[in-house]
Copies of this chain bind each other. A is one copy, B any other.
Amino acid sequence: MNPFASPHDLTTGQESVVFVVDDDESVRRALANLFQSVGLEVQEFGSAAELLHSKLPDVASCLVLDIRLPGLSGLDLQLELARADVHIPIIFMTGHGDIPMSVRAMKGGAIDFLTKPFRDQDMLDSVMTAIKRDRERREAEKAVTGLREHFETLTDREREVLALVAAGLMNKQIAAQIGVAEITVKIHRGRVMKKMGAKSLADLVRMAEMIGIRRR
């Protein structure tokens, strides 16, 4: 073992993990070696259940799955993850797949569907693409989550005002619409800006867009 080994991905300069799910240990080992050779961290699983029951680290990652697995198949696992709202990119491998399978996998959002035997480089390319996509998705998600947290701290009235402000109404119009004095709208509005951490109205409008606020 290399004492200088790092948990960080030397290729991308950021932490990332590849989850390998295959019932054949020799295949898992071979893939693990391949990924480790380019500085990627690897976790191995022998079945879909094993992966579903483990707690996945919160870093950019991807799944490398055999289609045929004991218990849940790779495609079943893909469906389960989607149902659980887990959007980790998936790369499928198969020795005996068919076209409908590959189409189903790709429609389900898979990054790639490789037929064995495949070239190591093809697998690496797909994994790199997958991890890059996951990193981007995580960043986007993080931004929205942060906004939503701030949004949670708003009172009902403040949310109402936010929606109308984002819709472009003037304070007096908002006041008429919700039946309060204009000064009250100003106070709510000021609180909304502070709570949301918006530095300008433009900022606030963009935030409202991101968390999908619209007037009913």
Which A residues have a C-beta under 8 Å from some C-beta of B? Answer: 94, 97-100, 102-103, 106-107, 112-113, 115, 165-170, 199-203, 205-206, 209
Count this chain's copies in the assembly: 2
Given contacts A99-B113, A107-B112, A205-B206, 5 further A-B contacts (CB under 8 A): A97-B99, A100-B115, A106-B107, A201-B205, A209-B209
Question: How far, in whole Å, are A2 and B200 apart by their CA atoms in the complex?
Answer: 61
Contact B168 A199 (CB under 8 A): yes
Give the docked Cα–Cα distance between A202 and B200 (Å): 11
Residue of B nearest to A164 (CB): B202
Note all chain B residues with C-beta closer than 8 A to A170.
200
Which chain B positions have C-beta within 8 A of A107? 106, 112
CA distance A126 to B200 in the complex (A): 45
List 26 interface pairs A-B (beta carbons < 8 Å), by A numbering. A94-B99, A99-B99, A99-B102, A99-B113, A99-B115, A100-B115, A102-B103, A102-B106, A103-B112, A103-B113, A106-B106, A106-B107, A107-B112, A165-B202, A166-B202, A168-B199, A168-B201, A168-B203, A169-B200, A170-B200, A201-B201, A201-B205, A202-B205, A205-B205, A205-B206, A206-B209
Nearest CB to that of A101 among chain B residues? Answer: B99
The 8 closest A-B pairs by CB, nearest first: A168-B200, A106-B106, A168-B202, A205-B205, A202-B205, A99-B102, A103-B113, A102-B102
A200 closest partner in B (C-beta): B168
* Distance A203 CA – B168 CA, assembled complex (angstroms): 6
Chain B residues, Cβ within 8 Å of A106: 102-103, 106-107
Q: How far is the CA of A199 from the CA of B168 in the complex (A)?
A: 8
Nearest chain B CB to A163's CB is how many angstroms away?
11
Nearest chain B CB to A196 CB, angstrom units: 13
Which residues of chain B are within 8 angstroms of A203 by Cβ–Cβ distance?
A: 168
